[in-house]
Chain A
Amino acid sequence: MELAWLLIALPLLASAVLGLRGRRMDETEIGTLACGAVAGSFLLALLLMLDVAVRHGAAVVVGGPTWVSVGALNLALSLQVDPLSLTMTLVVTGVGLVIHLFARGYMHGDPHYPRFFALLNLFVGMMLILVLASNLAFMFVGWEGVGFCSYMLIGYYTHKPSAHQAGKKAFIVNRIGDLGFMLGAFLVYRAFGTLEFTAISEQSPTVLAAGGAAAIAFFLFVGACGKSAQFPLYVWLPDAMEGPTPVSALIHAATMVTAGVYLVVRMGMVFALAPAVLNLVAVVGLLTAVLAALLALVQNDIKRVLAYSTISQLGYMFLAAGMGAYTAAIFHLVTHAFFKALLFLGSGSVIHAMEHAIHHAGRCDDPQDMRHMGGLRERMPTTHWTMLVGALAISGCPLLAGFWSKDEILFATSRHSYLLWLVGLGVALLTAFYMFRLILKTFYQEPKLGPAVHDQVVESSAVMTLPLRILGVLSILGGVLNLPGHWFGAGWLHHWLHPTLGPSLELLAGGREGNELLGMVISSIVALTGIGLACSCYAAGRGRGAALAARYPRVYGALVAKYWLDETYRRYLVEPGNELAETCAAVIDAGVVDGSVNLLGRWVLALGQDVRHYQPGLVRSYALWFVVGAVGVVGYLGLVGLGPWAAGLALVLLATLAGAVAWVVRPRNEG
């Protein structure tokens, strides 16, 4: 079990080596080290999984050094190995490994190759801390660590000002969520006297019986909203696409952004005791899913479509968690990691090829803009097929990974509320539509930039297509993790997670009976309808999409403007903040702080100007002061006998006399 520490240490050590020595290594060495570390972690995670399976899923807390020990507060850096954390670990290291492999090819020739892989490995290490930590405090270390890596990697292309802006935006918006996380952790400590997950899960029903669960759950959910880009804090994720595509795939699709879902499920017991907050989670999740899916309809940047799609799918996961279907949330998290990583890497492969082609043709069009693509099907067959699989999977095409996980979420929703279920189906329709809009615009429509560019497009190298194939297979087969029904092998993920989630799921049991098969048929029809609609609008030679946009200009305008949410934040939060800062700088800093310091300085200067006359450099005038002082001391000693009042009076008289003498004999500036 101590292997868990090694599992975290491998990527962190590799990151340190790459950061310190990377500049003296060539690309092969760097790639091998970075991938090797993640591969090692992946193998260790598999070993730990066997171990946990032998123990029938009992949680094991691996002790570590004490971090803080003050009074009753004891924070240990310890790890919790249980089915839930291991599931996350396998996703992080498994998908992470594939993305690392891809990145070797994608980042080939980049001048800051070592920095990229150092940060990517640091991210993996921090993410592992996040998912394996056994208490909220240590988890927060990973939580902030991944936030830092995300910030650094969004702003990776340091020559692009937009990348700096996006990095800062991500960091600042995340800070809002982090505040919620911290407040939640404080409340947990006040209620439980500890931050350990095992203790929280066991003691929740008794400790929180009198209430208090709602506040904790609410603040932790605010934290989850920031990290997992939920309304109203989702605005940072689309901008985060400024980073290199492997970063978007790893951090902003497969792993980091799912940390919020993991947090909710990890604290599932507390959420289960706060039904009102759980409803809020479901509503916010669904609202985000709808809003983001609508925005994805009108984006022209291939990565931004995927970014809004990610936000929308994360909304699905929160919907599942809010419905009390924690297993479904984790199931969708896993399958989403497969197909969304696949789609991002596929888009990376396309961008890579477009960039080279445009460069060769001597043009400077945006390689990420889908309006410049089209007809790439024949040029990039592997990328085309794998992305098609990914698109089918996310759309919920029957029997692929996304179908099973999405269906489970919709089924759980239908058992509680038909209204939410219908909205969820609507999102599924939108998902299928915008994904196939992307596929058709990229691979099927006629080439837009003419043969000069089109003929230069070549399929990416095997380093990049192999990861696509692996993820393609996972996107097809991922559903077997948790098949519905009661036959052998069905519900494997559910059984695997049961030791961890069982108690909270028992609390949440309820809802009406439903017909899962009927639900599957309906959602299949919806998905295929969405695909069909997209084909009727965007297939080669069809202009229906543009016609729709022209017919509803106000709707289209609102979507293109992203509901003016960024502008609203700018107008009502950012600009007042800037004004406040400028006012403070002008009034408080320049006026009060600098002013008082300058005033003090002027006083001292003036005092010096006044007293410098008494230090003229004449030795005899110093001797005079010496004598005046001596006479004063002797006089005082002589007068002490007269009692305090008389002595004081005499001293004042003497001082006056001495002053008068000094004034009379003061050396004058002969100057």
Chain B
Amino acid sequence: MTSPIGPALALSAVLFACGVAGVLLRRNILVVYMSIELMLNAANLAFVAFSRLHSALDGQLFVFFSLTVAAAEVAVGLGIVVAVYRKLQSVDVDRVNLLRN
């Protein structure tokens, strides 16, 4: 028995698009960070939806891994954010331009 996959994929796409827009448009590094997480979870949602469609556990297994990796990534990412703030006294991504010139 299969459930319709359309709505799940549509939601996933919308979430992903929101994430992309957030990354591109927001300047606050923490918001950018949250947008990245949004894209990640959109992908996770697609994984789960396909897992259901094919009645296979592989997709859900992948989600497990990606959640774990995302947790580790958060630790590193927030560490970078703290370092950036200490250096620049700001969380504006446009001010992270030390490599320019």
For chain A, residues 590 to 636, give those with C-beta under 8 angstroms from any C-beta of chain B: 616-620, 623-624, 627
Residue of B nearest to A616 (CB): B100
Q: Could you tell me the distance between the alpha carbons of A624 and B25 in the complex, rounded to whole angstroms?
A: 10
| Smallest CB separation, B12 vs chain A (Å) | 14
Provide the B80-101 mask, 1 if CB < 8 A to any CB of A, else 0: 0000000000000110111111
Inter-chain contact B97/A624, CB cutoff 8 Å: no
List, in ascending order, chain B residues with CB within 8 A of A620's CB.
Answer: 23-24, 27, 93-94
Inter-chain contact B101/A627, CB cutoff 8 Å: no
Inter-chain contact B24/A624, CB cutoff 8 Å: yes
Please tell me if B9 contacts chain A, counting CB pairs below 8 Å.
Answer: no
Inter-chain contact B96/A619, CB cutoff 8 Å: yes
| Smallest CB separation, B74 vs chain A (Å) | 18
Q: Could you tell me the distance between the alpha carbons of A616 and B93 in the complex, rounded to whole angstroms?
A: 13
Q: Could you tell me the distance between the alpha carbons of A627 and B24 in the complex, rounded to whole angstroms?
A: 9
Q: Could you tell me the distance between the alpha carbons of A617 and B98 in the complex, rounded to whole angstroms?
A: 7
Mostly helix, strand, loop or mixed at chain A's interface?
helix
Q: Could you tell me the distance between the alpha carbons of A220 and B70 in the complex, rounded to whole angstroms?
A: 84
| Smallest CB separation, B92 vs chain A (Å) | 10
List, in ascending order, chain B residues with CB within 8 A of A624's CB.
Answer: 24
List, in ascending order, chain B residues with CB within 8 A of A627's CB.
Answer: 20, 23-24
Inter-chain contact B24/A617, CB cutoff 8 Å: no
List, in ascending order, chain B residues with CB within 8 A of A616's CB.
Answer: 97, 100
Inter-chain contact B93/A617, CB cutoff 8 Å: no
Quick one: which of B20, B23, B27, B100 contacts A617, CB cutoff 8 A?
B100
Inter-chain contact B94/A619, CB cutoff 8 Å: yes
List, in ascending order, chain A residues with CB within 8 A of B94's CB.
Answer: 618-620
Q: Could you tell me the distance between the alpha carbons of A623 and B97 in the complex, rounded to whole angstroms?
A: 14
| Smallest CB separation, A26 vs chain B (Å) | 67
| Smallest CB separation, B32 vs chain A (Å) | 8
Q: Could you tell me the distance between the alpha carbons of A162 and B97 in the complex, rounded to whole angstroms?
A: 66
Residue of B nearest to A665 (CB): B24
Q: Could you tell me the distance between the alpha carbons of A373 and B93 in the complex, rounded to whole angstroms?
A: 96
List, in ascending order, chain B residues with CB within 8 A of A617's CB.
Answer: 97-101
Inter-chain contact B24/A619, CB cutoff 8 Å: no
Q: Could you tell me the distance between the alpha carbons of A617 and B97 in the complex, rounded to whole angstroms?
A: 5
Residue of A nearest to B100 (CB): A617
For chain A, residues 470 to 486, give those with C-beta under 8 angstroms from any C-beta of chain B: none
| Smallest CB separation, A625 vs chain B (Å) | 11
Please indicate which of the listed interface residues B24, B97, B98, B100 has the most CB atoms of chain A within 10 Å of its own CB. Answer: B24
For chain B, residues 18 to 77, give those with C-beta under 8 angstroms from any C-beta of chain A: 20, 23-24, 27
Residue of A nearest to B97 (CB): A617
List, in ascending order, chain B residues with CB within 8 A of A618's CB.
Answer: 94, 97, 100
Residue of A nearest to B99 (CB): A617
| Smallest CB separation, A92 vs chain B (Å) | 73
List, in ascending order, chain A residues with CB within 8 A of B100's CB.
Answer: 616-618
Q: Could you tell me the distance between the alpha carbons of A627 and B17 in the complex, rounded to whole angstroms?
A: 11
Q: Could you tell me the distance between the alpha carbons of A627 and B25 in the complex, rounded to whole angstroms?
A: 12
| Smallest CB separation, A158 vs chain B (Å) | 54
List, in ascending order, chain B residues with CB within 8 A of A623's CB.
Answer: 23-24
Q: Could you tell me the distance between the alpha carbons of A617 and B24 in the complex, rounded to whole angstroms?
A: 15
Q: Could you tell me the distance between the alpha carbons of A627 and B16 in the complex, rounded to whole angstroms?
A: 11
List, in ascending order, chain A residues with CB within 8 A of B27's CB.
Answer: 620
| Smallest CB separation, B47 vs chain A (Å) | 16
Q: Could you tell me the distance between the alpha carbons of A619 and B92 in the complex, rounded to whole angstroms?
A: 10
Q: Could you tell me the distance between the alpha carbons of A486 and B97 in the complex, rounded to whole angstroms?
A: 107
| Smallest CB separation, A669 vs chain B (Å) | 11
Q: Could you tell me the distance between the alpha carbons of A392 and B33 in the complex, rounded to whole angstroms?
A: 109
Q: Could you tell me the distance between the alpha carbons of A376 and B37 in the complex, rounded to whole angstroms?
A: 109
Q: Could you tell me the distance between the alpha carbons of A623 and B19 in the complex, rounded to whole angstroms?
A: 12
Please indicate which of the listed interface residues B27, B94, B98 has the most CB atoms of chain A within 10 Å of its own CB. Answer: B94
Q: Could you tell me the distance between the alpha carbons of A624 and B21 in the complex, rounded to whole angstroms?
A: 10
| Smallest CB separation, B83 vs chain A (Å) | 15
| Smallest CB separation, B21 vs chain A (Å) | 10
Q: Could you tell me the distance between the alpha carbons of A399 and B64 in the complex, rounded to whole angstroms?
A: 116
List, in ascending order, chain A residues with CB within 8 A of B20's CB.
Answer: 627
Q: Could you tell me the distance between the alpha carbons of A623 and B100 in the complex, rounded to whole angstroms?
A: 16
Q: Could you tell me the distance between the alpha carbons of A619 and B25 in the complex, rounded to whole angstroms?
A: 11
| Smallest CB separation, B84 vs chain A (Å) | 10
Residue of A nearest to B101 (CB): A617
| Smallest CB separation, A492 vs chain B (Å) | 92
Q: Could you tell me the distance between the alpha carbons of A627 and B35 in the complex, rounded to whole angstroms?
A: 14
| Smallest CB separation, A211 vs chain B (Å) | 78
List, in ascending order, chain A residues with CB within 8 A of B97's CB.
Answer: 616-619
Q: Could you tell me the distance between the alpha carbons of A624 and B97 in the complex, rounded to whole angstroms?
A: 16
Q: Could you tell me the distance between the alpha carbons of A624 and B23 in the complex, rounded to whole angstroms?
A: 9
Residue of B nearest to A617 (CB): B100
Q: Could you tell me the distance between the alpha carbons of A623 and B96 in the complex, rounded to whole angstroms?
A: 13
| Smallest CB separation, A621 vs chain B (Å) | 9
List, in ascending order, chain A residues with CB within 8 A of B24's CB.
Answer: 620, 623-624, 627
Q: Could you tell me the distance between the alpha carbons of A616 and B98 in the complex, rounded to whole angstroms?
A: 11
List, in ascending order, chain A residues with CB within 8 A of B98's CB.
Answer: 617
Please indicate which of the listed interface residues A616, A618, A619 has the most CB atoms of chain B within 10 Å of its own CB. Answer: A619
Please indicate which of the listed interface residues A616, A620, A627 has the most CB atoms of chain B within 10 Å of its own CB. Answer: A620
| Smallest CB separation, A125 vs chain B (Å) | 65
List, in ascending order, chain A residues with CB within 8 A of B101's CB.
Answer: 617
| Smallest CB separation, B38 vs chain A (Å) | 14
| Smallest CB separation, A303 vs chain B (Å) | 72
| Smallest CB separation, B17 vs chain A (Å) | 10
For chain A, residues 613 to 671, give those with C-beta under 8 angstroms from any C-beta of chain B: 616-620, 623-624, 627
| Smallest CB separation, A483 vs chain B (Å) | 96
Residue of A nearest to B20 (CB): A627
Q: Could you tell me the distance between the alpha carbons of A617 and B93 in the complex, rounded to whole angstroms?
A: 11
Q: Could you tell me the distance between the alpha carbons of A623 and B27 in the complex, rounded to whole angstroms?
A: 12
Q: Could you tell me the distance between the alpha carbons of A624 and B32 in the complex, rounded to whole angstroms?
A: 13
Q: Could you tell me the distance between the alpha carbons of A616 and B97 in the complex, rounded to whole angstroms?
A: 8
| Smallest CB separation, A227 vs chain B (Å) | 67
Q: Could you tell me the distance between the alpha carbons of A616 and B100 in the complex, rounded to whole angstroms?
A: 6
| Smallest CB separation, A635 vs chain B (Å) | 14
Residue of B nearest to A624 (CB): B24
| Smallest CB separation, B80 vs chain A (Å) | 12
Please indicate which of the listed interface residues A623, A624, A627 has the most CB atoms of chain B within 10 Å of its own CB. Answer: A623
Lowest 6 CB-CB distances: which A-B pairs, in order? A617-B100, A617-B97, A619-B93, A623-B23, A617-B99, A619-B96
Besides A619-B94, A619-B96, A620-B27, 20 other A-B contacts (C-beta < 8 A) = A616-B97, A616-B100, A617-B97, A617-B98, A617-B99, A617-B100, A617-B101, A618-B94, A618-B97, A618-B100, A619-B97, A620-B23, A620-B24, A620-B93, A620-B94, A623-B23, A623-B24, A624-B24, A627-B23, A627-B24
Taking beta carbons and an 8 Å cutoff, which residues of B are in contact with A?
20, 23-24, 27, 93-94, 96-101
In the assembled complex, 25 residue pairs joining A and B whose CB atoms fall closer than 8 Å, in A order, are A616-B97, A616-B100, A617-B97, A617-B98, A617-B99, A617-B100, A617-B101, A618-B94, A618-B97, A618-B100, A619-B93, A619-B94, A619-B96, A619-B97, A620-B23, A620-B24, A620-B27, A620-B93, A620-B94, A623-B23, A623-B24, A624-B24, A627-B20, A627-B23, A627-B24
